[in-house]
Chains A and B, each alone.
Chain A
């Protein structure tokens, strides 16, 4: 008797677990595969035209990412070509566990940080460089900005302000801000591309945003006479 009554509680959860598994499998089956999966499979099978389509789709994104991290257009052009060449060579390593674009971004970040490291031969450059600094982690500037403050500058002036401002961020912050806020990747994708935890991405993103805000404030704040 005790054996029978003891078995009952374990039977019900097993059935529930099985039902959950079936529902989860059905949900996976219902989700259509990303169109890149077919292109990657075709490229792996030797269809170079399929790989050319992937380059066309992602070359601009990879270039922008490399350009933002290195702050150098020529380096970004070289890096972009290297990224697709390396991706082609190592296509069999892509197992489809992440998006193809996230995989490309990871290669692009690696190559960009390496390029920065080569530029600063005496210093190492890594995702962790300067992230321990407390600078910008607490807002200090509470000045209001003009409405549409960017309209006070012509396009070239604004581009230079934005370039100088983001160039002043440590590489680890600049990379997270680029992927998350400029390229609009999700926090999870950003974490995957950078090999960071989601809380680490959130923490760096907050500090990157606050530091940029402080630095832009000197250009965008309301003039003092407007406050009176």
Chain B
């Protein structure tokens, strides 16, 4: 396994979706390539640091105020009648952006 092959398997390696034979090859490569060892360690740390440090959490009072505001809007407006929804799905982001651009 060379560095390019290793990089192609990096996502599966982090996500634990890698078969044992390939995992052994990846580990062997990390063991003998210092650059790839650094990439593994620092990428793992990147994920950890983002997971462990939420930049901003919604405070409880704001959470409750937002929920009340949404419920008020929902109760005032109600649900769209079935006839307007028939056969439609929530579009994927790409489809949605395209739809909005055409309006």
Instruction: Indicate whether A and B interact.
Output: yes
A interface list, Cβ under 8 A from B:
48, 51-52, 55-56, 59-60, 63-64, 67, 73, 77, 80-81, 84-85, 88-93, 103, 106-107, 109-110, 113-114, 117, 124-128, 138-139, 142-145, 149-150, 155, 158-159, 162-163, 166, 175, 177, 181-182, 184, 187, 194-196, 202, 205-206, 209-210, 212-213, 216-217, 220
Complex CA–CA separation, A150 to B53 (angstroms): 10
Complex CA–CA separation, A207 to B50 (angstroms): 16
Asked if B100 and A55 sit within 8 Å, CB to CB, the answer is: no
Place the interface of chain B in its size category. 35 or more
The yes or no answer to B32 lying at the interface (CB within 8 A) is: no
The yes or no answer to B47 lying at the interface (CB within 8 A) is: yes
Asked if B42 and A145 sit within 8 Å, CB to CB, the answer is: yes
Complex CA–CA separation, A166 to B53 (angstroms): 13
Q: A60-B58, A143-B38 are in contact. Are A150 and B50 (CB under 8 A)?
A: no
7 contacts between A and B (CB under 8 A): A92-B79, A106-B90, A110-B96, A114-B96, A126-B94, A182-B54, A210-B43
The DSSP consensus for interface residues of chain B is helix
Asked if B92 and A194 sit within 8 Å, CB to CB, the answer is: yes
Asked if A59 and B75 sit within 8 Å, CB to CB, the answer is: no
**Contacting A162 at CB < 8 Å: which of B55, B93, B97?**
B55
Asked if A127 and B94 sit within 8 Å, CB to CB, the answer is: yes
Q: How far is the CB of B63 from chain A (nearest CB, A)?
A: 6
Most chain A CB atoms below 10 A, which of B88, B91, B94, B101: B94
**Contacting B10 at CB < 8 Å: which of A109, A181, A206?**
A206
Chain B residues with CB under 8 Å of A52's CB are 67, 71
**Contacting A128 at CB < 8 Å: which of B41, B43, B46, B94?**
B94
Complex CA–CA separation, A201 to B99 (angstroms): 23
